[in-house]
Amino acid sequence: MKKRRRRFSAKAAKRLKKRLWIALLMLLILLGLSTCTVVKTRPDYDALLLDAAASGETERGRAAAGERNALVRRGLMQEPSVDYDELLLLARLIEVEAGDRRYSDDYRLCVGELALNRVASPEFPDTLREVVEQYRQYPCALEPEFADLRPSRANAALALRLLKGERHLSPAVLYRSSRQIGPAFARFYDRQEGYIYFCESVYTELYAP
């Protein structure tokens, strides 16, 4: 009897072990499916930001940016945080300074990047709004209609790319002019305006790496 009882116990233990492995495998599969579900159902925050900017839904854009930035802080998104008001302001600036269809995306990116270079520069104010509203720098931004301007989704997308870190110019590029007023880092040709230069500060030592 003792021998049969031991054999039965061994078989029972083997069956129990098998069931435990099956249960563990099912649990792992369920966890994997739930993770995939979370990823698939997460909103496309970039699209929400662009839609809000183009439609003038400021509160909706701020809410989307807040949710997105919370994920960034928690390490669930490997991207930089984005301030919606800065996105809207930069998109509006690109719209009024380079919104004409004859300008290329590269040119528009340079227009927006120049403004961000000024924010980072010791020669200009420290915030994007102060840079945009600085006396005699961007007169278009002081017009009443600028505050209500709805930028195109395309220009908002360019602004978002810049705020997420895309760069094409040297950090020392601070000026755009129809004549070369310093070391020229980039040059574009326009049929109506001729050559347009993106020029570096004369104080290039301030921007040495």
Which two three-digit tokens encode residue 72?
């960034």
- The pLDDT of 34-38, averaged and rounded, is 50
Q: Please give the full DSSP string across 106-152, using - where no structure is assigned.
A: HHHHHHHHHHHHHHHSTTS-SSHHHHHTSTTT-GGGGSGGGGG----
Quick: pLDDT tens for 163-179. 999 999 999 999 998 88
Quick: pLDDT tens for 4-17. 555 556 666 677 77
User: Are the CB atoms for 162 and 152 separated by under 8 Å?
Assistant: no
Angle at alpha carbon of residue 119, lines to 105 and 176, rounded to 5°: 50
Residue-level pLDDT at 159: 98
Q: How confident is the model at residue 161 (pLDDT cuts 50, 70, 90)?
A: very high
Q: How confident is the model at residue 37 (pLDDT cuts 50, 70, 90)?
A: very low
Q: Quick check: 128 pLDDT over 70?
A: yes
Of 14 and 113, which is predicted with more confidence?
Answer: 113
Residue-level pLDDT at 86: 98
User: Are the CB atoms for 136 and 86 separated by under 8 Å?
Assistant: no
Mean pLDDT across the chain:
87
Residue-level pLDDT at 88: 98
CA-wise closest residue to 152 among 110, 192, 103: 103
Residue-level pLDDT at 178: 84
Residue-level pLDDT at 10: 67
Q: How many CB atoms lie within 10 A of CB 99?
A: 18
The backbone region for 143, taken as left when phi is positive above 0, alpha when psi lies in -120 to 50, beta otherwise, is beta
Give the burial string for 8-23 (b: 16+ CB within 10 Å, else e).
eeeeeeeeeeeeeeee
Angle at alpha carbon of residue 121, lines to 116 and 126, rounded to 5°: 70
